[in-house]
């Protein structure tokens, strides 16, 4: 899901992976190996991060070239 939303995977320590996105402040750290079930709090964190990025992308697409927002 993170990859599809444009996040980039960075290696972490052990079985952890870190995910970053230019429009997301901070990083998402996911524990466990690929294919393992995510913990509920991790699922929520991922969903919130994706929604934040999608909201910022939508805001960017609402702007016109001179920087004014479309009303």
Classify residue 21 as exposed, middle or buried by CB count within 10 Å of its CB (0-12, 13-18, 19+).
buried
Evaluate whether 46 touches 1 at the Cβ level (below 8 Å).
yes
Domain extent listing, the chain:
8-56
Over residues 32-53, the mean pLDDT reads: 87
Confidence label for 65 from pLDDT (cuts 50, 70 and 90): low
Phi-psi region of 26 (alpha: psi -120 to 50; beta: other; left: phi over 0): left
Mean pLDDT of the chain: 84
Return the DSSP state at 24. S
Return the CA Rg of the chain: 15
pLDDT at 39: 84
């Amino acid at each position: 899901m993170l990859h599809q939303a444009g996040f980039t995977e960075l290696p972490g320590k052990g079985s952890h992976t870190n995910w970053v996105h230019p429009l997301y402040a901070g990083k998402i750290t996911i524990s466990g190996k690929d294919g393992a079930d995510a913990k509920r709090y991790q699922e929520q964190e991922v969903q919130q991060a994706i929604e934040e990025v999608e909201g910022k992308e939508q805001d960017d697409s609402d702007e016109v070239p001179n920087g004014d927002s479309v009303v």
